[in-house]
């Protein structure tokens, strides 16, 4: 099968930064608890950038077999995106919660557009692993539609939680010790890796089987760097005066 070049932003580097962002979600959540620093701004910016780029790629029909991954990533995102809603002040929690709900819904819209526009182009061409290698057919397309419908209901629940959880967290004004974010890094990453490992493996199998290559999106790379800085640097400078309401 010849090599297929798709939209920029899904290179090996971009994919592993995406997986790393998922694994950092628990530490991201902990870093915001009781904090008056905008620790989750980088996380939200990175997620929005990748989702908007994905949406435009779907509209331009530039995904090829990557269109098979949209329900897969919905399952990952509906948990990991909730890592970016914690803060110590409602002035940050409210926009973070609404912003997270928005990016979850955007991802769902993108997934349905991908199902309707991109997948039909790959009948008997796109390959994926499901108890053996399969080729996409109209029957499998309907299967992906059922999968997507299930994901959409879960995503709607997650979007509601993204708005409700900040209201609950706002009652907790205790700032965690600065080292707590770093202590949560490894166990949180392990939990998220266990949760998403099969989906990550399935993604990599599809990429390799369909000979997909993608240029690196360096804007996404630097947004990821900003996400890491926003998450881990503020706890180290916790002695600075907080921006209280």
pLDDT score of 1: 63
pLDDT digits (tens, 9 = 90+) for 166-198: 776 665 555 555 555 556 667 878 888 888 888
Average pLDDT over residues 126-133: 89
- The full DSSP string for 117-170 is IIGGGGTTT-EEESSSEEE--HHHHHHHHHHHHHHHHHHHHHHHHHHHHHHHHT
**Which one of 2-16, 76-90, 227-241 scores highest in mean pLDDT?**
2-16
pLDDT digits (tens, 9 = 90+) for 206-216: 999 999 998 99
Distance, CA of 163 to CA of 103 (rounded, Å): 12
pLDDT score of 106: 87
Helix%, strand%, coil% for the chain, nearest 5: 70, 5, 25
């Amino acid at each position: 099968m010849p090599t297929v070049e798709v939209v920029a932003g899904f290179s090996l580097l971009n994919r592993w930064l995406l997986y790393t962002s998922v694994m950092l979600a628990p530490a991201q959540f902990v870093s915001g608890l009781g904090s008056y620093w905008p620790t989750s701004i980088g996380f939200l910016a990175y997620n929005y950038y990748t989702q908007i780029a994905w949406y435009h790629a779907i509209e331009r029909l530039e995904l090829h077999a990557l269109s098979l991954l949209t329900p897969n990533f919905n399952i990952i995102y509906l948990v990991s995106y909730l890592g970016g809603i914690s803060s110590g002040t409602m002035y940050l929690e409210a926009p973070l919660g609404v912003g997270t709900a928005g990016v979850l819904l955007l991802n769902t819209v993108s997934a349905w557009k991908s199902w309707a526009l991109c997948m039909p182009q790959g009948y008997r061409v796109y390959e994926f692993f499901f108890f053996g290698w399969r080729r996409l057919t109209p029957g499998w397309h309907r299967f992906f539609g059922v999968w997507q419908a299930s994901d959409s209901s879960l995503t709607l629940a997650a979007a509601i939680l993204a708005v409700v959880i900040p209201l609950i967290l706002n009652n907790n004004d205790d700032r965690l010790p600065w080292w707590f974010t770093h202590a949560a890094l490894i166990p949180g990453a392990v939990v998220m890796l266990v949760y998403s490992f099969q989906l990550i493996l399935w993604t990599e199998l599809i990429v390799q089987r369909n000979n997909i290559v993608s240029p690196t999106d360096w804007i996404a790379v630097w947004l990821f760097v900003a996400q890491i800085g926003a998450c881990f640097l503020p706890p180290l400078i916790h002695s600075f005066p907080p921006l209280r309401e």
